[in-house]
Structure 1
Amino acid sequence: MTHSTICDFNKSNEGFLVSGRIVPKYENDNWTYTEEVISNPYFKQYESEEIDSSYIEDTGKAVFFYYVDRMCIGHIRLRSNWNGYVLVEDIGVAKNWRQRGIGTLLLEKAVQWATETNHIGLMLETQDVNVAACRFYARNNFIIGGVDSMLYSKFPAVNEKAIYWYYKFSFHLDE
C-alpha cells in the first residue's frame, strides 16, 4: 500500500451468506472440527474500516493489494504480533473474484513478508459462522489454535465464537 493507493483498502470488502458454522473440538491436545448447517441463513457484511498511514510507514505493519485491470479486488492487512507471529488483521477478496486463487496469492505474500521480517508464522481470527473462510484457512495449512466464546459477547443476538487459526513455518529462524 502506498499513499496513492490507501483509498483502495475497503474496495474488496464484500459480505457473504452465513449458512452454517464450524464446531471446533479439543481432545488429546488436538483441535478438530465439524460443520453444522443453520436453519435460517443470513447475509453478513463487515463494516468498512479506517486505515491509516502507519501501515505504510511502520516496518511492523503492511497492506498488500491485488489488482486486475487497475481495479482492487483483494487485500491483506498484516502486523507483527508480540508472540513472533504475523497477525493477519484482515483479508478480503471481492465477491465476484472468490474461488480463483487470489486469497491464496495474498496469503503467499503474507508468508513472504513474514519470512523477510523474521516471524515464525501467521495467525488470524475469524468467526465460526464464516465457514468459507475457515475452509480456506484449513486448505492453506492453518490449524486451529484456540476458540474464544466471549470475544463477541457484546452482540448476544449473533452468538458467534472466535476461532484462532495458525500457520507455523516449519523452520526455526534462530537456528
Structure 2
Amino acid sequence: MIIKMTQANINDFNKSNDGFIVFGRIVPKFENRIWKYTEELFSKPYFKKYEDEEIDIGYIEGERKVVFFYYAENNCIGQIRLRGNWNGYAYVEDVAVAKEYRKNGVGTALLNKAFEWAKENNFCGLMLETQDINVSACRFYSKNNFIIGSIDTMIYSNLSTANEIAILWYYKF
C-alpha cells in the first residue's frame, strides 16, 4: 500500500533509511552526445549510510512537493520524496527501501507512484541525482529507462569524506 505522508504518519519519515554496500562505481563516458557507462568493481566493498533528514512540513501542505510511503503489514518499508523543479521536471529527492525488502518491487512501485504524481501535476518527466558509487541505484534507474543527462564532478568536492561524483538521471514523458 502506498499512501501520502500526513500528520498522522509523519513519524514514518526516515524509517526506511538503511545504508547500502558500496561495491564499485559507474564510469560514465560521453560519446556522440550520449552518456554510457561501464562499471568498476572494488576489491574491498564498504558500507555507507546517509544521515536521517529533517522532516519538512511543506511536504504535507505544499502544492508542488510530496512524500509517499510504502507500507507492508502496517510497517513503513519505503518512501519517495518529490518536488517540482524549475525546469519542468519533478525532482526525486530521495528513494529509500528498507534493506530486507530490496529487490522485491518496492522501489519500482514507488517510482510508478512518482510517474503518476508527476503526470497529474503536468511535469514533463522525472529527474534525480545519485552518486557514481551507488551502483545498485544506477542499475535500478537504468533498468527503469532513465538516462544519464549530466555528470557533476564538483558537487561533493567540499566534503572531505566523499570520493564520488554526482550522476543526474532523467526520464522524459
TM-score range, shorter chain: over 0.9
% identical equivalent positions: 64
Counterparts of residues 16-35 of structure 1 (less than 5 Å): 16-35=20-39
Alignment pair present for 1:40 and 2:28: no
* Corresponding letter in the other structure for 2:81: R
Q: Residue 116 of structure 1: CA displacement?
A: 0.3
Q: Residue 156 of structure 1: CA displacement?
A: 3.8
**3-state DSSP class of the match of 2:25?**
strand
Alignment pair present for 1:64 and 2:73: no
The counterpart of 2:100, out of the listed 96, 99, 116, is 96
The aligned residue for residue 55 of structure 2 is 51
Question: In 2, Cα distance between the equivalents of 1:2 and 1:159?
Answer: 36
Alignment pair present for 1:121 and 2:132: no
Mark the runs of 5 or more structure 2 residues left unpaired by the alignment. Answer: none
The aligned residue for residue 160 of structure 1 is 164
How many equivalent pairs are there?
A: 169
The counterpart of 2:80, out of the listed 70, 73, 76, is 76
Q: Residue 52 of structure 1: CA displacement?
A: 1.7
**3-state DSSP class of the match of 2:114?**
helix
**3-state DSSP class of the match of 1:111?**
helix
Q: Residue 157 of structure 1: CA displacement?
A: 4.1
Given the two structures, how large is their TM-score scaled by the length of structure 2? 0.96
Alignment pair present for 1:133 and 2:148: no
* Corresponding letter in the other structure for 2:115: V
* 1:99-140 alpha-carbon deviations (Å, 9 max, x no partner): 001100000000000000000000000000000000000000
The counterpart of 2:151, out of the listed 139, 147, 152, is 147
The aligned residue for residue 173 of structure 1 is none
* 1:77-102 alpha-carbon deviations (Å, 9 max, x no partner): 00000000000000000000000011
**For the aligned residues, what is the CA RMSD?**
0.8
Given the two structures, how large is their TM-score scaled by the length of structure 1? 0.95
